[in-house]
Amino acid sequence: MVDIEVRSRMPGASGDDLPAVLVRLAEDRTTVRELIRRTVEEQIRALRADTARCRRILDRQYLSDDDLRTQARTGAIKMPPQAPADPDVTTEVGRAHRAFSRGTFAIFAGGRQVVGLDDEVALRLGEPVVFLRLVALAGG
């Protein structure tokens, strides 16, 4: 068993990032798809006590490019007002897989950026994995 720390970062976040989580794996190698699945499961588990915060942070981390483009035309990107719903793990994992495939966030593991969901990644004990939310620069 290997425990890997996964950190999620969002440029411009005001301290309300997803928490760093420990992901337990049977081996030190896994696919990006499996790493994302296990990470999202642990993120939800870590945030479940505060449903509204959990929903807000997950939405911000995995907000789709279409949502961003639509809201950017109004001059502000905000989360839609809604009653916070308990996140469904399967739905959130699917959304994270799609967001990764579209380049909404990047993953750095084993000293390199990984690019495909089915890529195999070697993980080293003590070396964190980073999920980095990519954000377009204003005017660019």
Q: Tell me, yes or no, whether 51 lies in a domain.
A: yes
Q: What pLDDT, in 10s, does the model give residues 27-52?
A: 889 999 999 999 999 988 887 777 66
Please report which helix (H) or strand (E) contains residue 91, including its range: helix 89-101
Mean predicted confidence (pLDDT) in 14-30 = 82
Q: What pLDDT, in 10s, does the model give residues 58-109?
A: 776 776 666 666 766 776 655 555 545 678 889 999 999 999 999 989 999 8
Give the structural domain span for 104: 2-133
DSSP assignment of 8-63, as one string? EE-TT--S-PPPPEEEEESSSEEEHHHHHHHHHHHHHHHHTTSHHHHHHHHHHHH-
Contacts of 28 (CB under 8 A, 6+ apart): 2, 122, 123, 124, 125
Least trusted range by pLDDT, from 8-12, 50-54, 108-112: 50-54
Q: Tell me, yes or no, whether 94 lies in a domain.
A: yes
Q: Tell me, yes or no, whether 114 lies in a domain.
A: yes
**Taking the model in full, what pTM does it have?**
0.76
CA-to-CA distance for 16 and 2, rounded, in angstroms? 27
Q: Tell me, yes or no, whether 28 lies in a domain.
A: yes
The domain total for the chain is 1
Terminus-to-terminus CA distance in the chain, angstroms? 44
